[in-house]
Amino acid sequence: MAVQSGVYRGVSAEDRAAERRGRLVEATLAVWADPGTRTTMTAICARAGLTERYFYESFTNLDEALTAVLDAVAVEIEETSHRAAEQAGDDPVARVHASVAAFMQLLADDPRKGRVAIIEAAAIPALRHRRTELLRHLAHRSAEEAHELMGLPRRPDSSDEVAGLLFIGGMAELIAAWLDGVIDATADDIVEAASRSFLGLYA
């Protein structure tokens, strides 16, 4: 009896390719965040336990793999913060606090994600534009969530854009300093300060 085309041990070719891509993305994050390892395709493949053939199955080059990690971290930040705000009840202050706390917990659980997205990506010319796009997207979403989830007043678009960029840009610099250990602050300190800042910008 012939084996169904593209299926091996009950797993489709598409699922196997997706699993390999996931391993490569995780390996890219690990290598990129490791200051003792040069970020190369060879190092990523070795970490993932895959050959270069499979790297090119998922990515055309190294920059594309790095961008995939950057995008994945941004999506996780957005979804984690949004979910925490939704679960925090109806009080706007509680929602803001929960959203920021969830973001900080994400970075505390895996500092690599903050390091590559906020610090390392800024040092790579090919990624700077994408990093800027993602920061602006998160700035826009912070304004939308201020109104939709937290019931804070809506202002003209330009004011919301300024407030969003000020909050997200300030958070990026603050997190970079925290990850580098150049400020004497705990994650809780940052949550409290960032929550007050957010409310001050939008309330």
Please give the span between the terminal C-alpha atoms of the chain, in angstroms, as a whole number: 68
Q: What is the pLDDT of residues 137-160, one digit of tens each?
A: 999 888 888 887 677 777 776 888
CATH architecture, domain defined by 62-202: Orthogonal Bundle (1.10)
148 conformational bin, left if phi > 0, alpha if psi -120 to 50, beta if neither: alpha
CATH architecture, domain defined by 1-59: Orthogonal Bundle (1.10)
Look at residue 151 in the predicted model and tell me its pLDDT. 76
What is d(CA 151, CA 146) in angstroms, rounded to the nearest whole number? 6
**What 3-state class would DSSP assign to 40?**
coil
Confidence bin at 12 (pLDDT 50/70/90): confident
What is d(CA 179, CA 35) in angstroms, rounded to the nearest whole number? 13
Q: What is the pLDDT of residues 13-72, one digit of tens each?
A: 888 999 999 999 999 999 999 999 999 999 999 999 999 999 999 999 999 999 999 999
Q: Where are the domains of the chain?
A: 1-59, 62-202
pLDDT for 4 beyond 50? no
Q: What is the DSSP letter of 117?
A: I
- Mean predicted lDDT score pLDDT of the chain: 90
Q: What is the mean pLDDT of residues 111-119?
A: 94
pTM here is: 0.87
Q: State what percent of residues in the chain have pLDDT above 70.
A: 93
